[in-house]
Amino acid sequence: MQPCPGGTQHSTMTPRGRWVGTLAVGLLAGVALTATHAESIQAGDSGELVAVACRLGVAHPPGYPLYTLLGHAFCRLPWSTAAARLSLLSMLSMIVAVASLFALARRLSRSAAAATVAALAFAFAPLAWRYGGLPEVVALHLALTLASVAAALAAQQAPTQVRRSGGLALAALGFGLALSNHPTALLALPLLVAAAIATPGWRGRCGWLRAAGILAALVGGLTPYLYLLAARVETVPRWGETQHWAGFVHHLLRRDAATLPLALVGPAGPSSTLGAFAVALPAQLGWVLLVAALAGTLLLLADGVRRRSPASSDPLPVPRSLALLFALAPLWTGPLFFLLFQLDAQGVGRQLVERYFLLPLALLTLPLAVAVAWLARRCGARANTNHTTAAPRWRRLSLAALLALLIGARARAGLPAADLRGSQAIEDYALNVLGVAARDALILGEGDERRLALLHAQQVLGLRRDVQYIDLRLLSYPWYVAQQRRLFPRFDYQPQPGQVDVLGLIRRSLGAGRPVYLASSNSPSLRSAVARYPVGPLERLLPPGQPPPTLETLLATQQRLAGAAVRRGRDPDPALDPWSAGLREPWAWTWLRLARALSATGHHDSAQRARAAARGWAPWLVEPLRARTP
């Protein structure tokens, strides 16, 4: 039997030096994350993911089973809040992502200094910094995706057949785990396939054994999905009916359109997301580093075509096909992918889509490393450990100082957007809603921001489980209605194919003597059909024929509730976090409604105080709020 063909070693650093550099960059990012991480749930799916991880439930499609299992282990740590423990998982994941990015950039540019610039530029981008410190699946997605690509590239450059096969198997395992966490890891598949094909040793028996090992590792990485079949049916939160194969496949393929932002039709179409991404790039990297990254893309494309390394006269450290793919990867993981998006990327819509900006942003820093390495050579700095030039010392120092200044400026500019300390508006909203609701109340609303906040408060914090919150959009799902009946036997609702009978639910609940509240609704017919009055951040619905409380009673009740309301941390910035800011506004709406009523009855001083109270809850809204008051 002929031995498997060998490969070439392209690295110019010792193994110890590579590990030290990788760890140093990762730990530097970790220090920044430690200083800014969240201790409460944040915008997006944070509330649901914390609840699912802590209670071993099932999240919305595709279920995120790997995050659920890993998150459950972190939930059991005897430290801080459940949200902070899941933030720790994100912090560690982002450290791995930054370290993997450093390893990729170092191999592509052959410069540890250039790789450091690229990795830190990503680590201190406000969006990456923010998502690295909050309980979400995004950081783990980046860690596994970038680590699998780094492992595949390392395998392609490994000196022995055993290390090449082991590296590809490790990359396949990481890719399978990445898919078990988030399906958009598929966007990295071209890079992985190209690296595997470019790795020597596919002929003969060695090739078959390698393929079998890669396939086995990939399947092993996908095994967390079996958790969806095994999860307990009675556990809450639980989305769908994954306990049988039909429901499992339905869940895996994301056939519930309400769970997939790409499937929602918005007024702007793909151009809105593309525009938001174009605006985000200079905001994340800064114009200087962004222009350098685009220049590095051109260098990588040009030198890939002529098979020369952009930072030296040596052959490219990766095959030409891989070099071209790395240059084009930000394009297909970003703008081309965003052509599928149909959301209006404004306000909360921007917060929903911006998490998808992180992978193309990370891949764009690889050409940045190429550009920095090329610039270092032009300035006479060390291009690699084998080739040096006798440049004046001031050039090397000037380049290093300029790059350090740019990275420092980006870190300082990104800190306000990344700092999640004191960001507790979402959890405060849930606490206040549950504090206002009467015993055994039924609360009706729309929007993930309200549903997930209350889900976390009830299932993780264990508060007011006698209160039932119904998301009106989910009443069309039979599994959701069945779940609510199991939790609340008094829940009187029969799902109808193709329609949601909200008014019937309200009338039956009020007729049974149950307190019913409205948290939010976009239905004008619902608001006009039922009499209601404001109470704190909610509206209480009145049974037919029952008069509302007097204005004096409403004002006294609102003053009492506002005095007892929970308001921790700082006010949310609607420009950075419209999700959290929107949950402060219901209090302002109530105060403004009272102010209008007081003005109409001649109580102008009290009306002024009510308007001042409205500004206290939502200082970013003054007169414009009147037009939005329900």
What residues does each domain of the chain span? 15-418, 425-628
Rg (CA), the chain: 28
Report the distance separating Cα 375 and Cα 381, nearest Å.
Answer: 8
pLDDT band (50, 70, 90) for residue 296 = very high
Confidence (pLDDT) at 26: 85
Look up residue 273 and give its amino acid.
Answer: T
Give the model's confidence band at 264: pLDDT under 50 very low, under 70 low, under 90 confident, else very high.
very low
Q: Is the model more confident about 28 or about 451? A: 451
pLDDT tier at 314, thresholds 50, 70, 90: low
> Are 369 and 107 in contact, with CB atoms under 8 Å apart?
no
Helix, coil or strand: residue 539? strand
Residues 6+ apart with CB under 8 A from 28: 120, 123
Does position 385 have pLDDT exceeding 60, yes or no?
Answer: no
Helix 82-109 / helix 46-55 crossing angle, nearest 10 deg: 110
**For residue 393, pLDDT beyond 70:** no
* Contact status, residue 337 vs residue 187, Cβ threshold 8 Å: yes
Query: What's residue 285's pLDDT?
Result: 93
> For the chain, what is the total number of helices (H) and then of strands (E)?
28, 5
Per-residue model confidence (pLDDT) at position 257: 53
pTM score, two decimals?
Answer: 0.90
Whose CA is closest to 361, among 468, 278, 269?
Answer: 278
Rounded distance between C-alpha atoms, residue 266 and residue 262, angstroms? 10
Note the helical H segments in 182-203. 189-198
| pLDDT category of residue 211 using cuts at 50, 70 and 90 | confident
Q: What is the pLDDT of residue 458?
A: 96
Query: How many angstroms separate the CA atoms of 355 and 330, rounded?
Result: 15
Q: Is the pLDDT of residue 624 over 70?
A: no
pLDDT tens, residue by residue, 109-120: 888 889 999 999
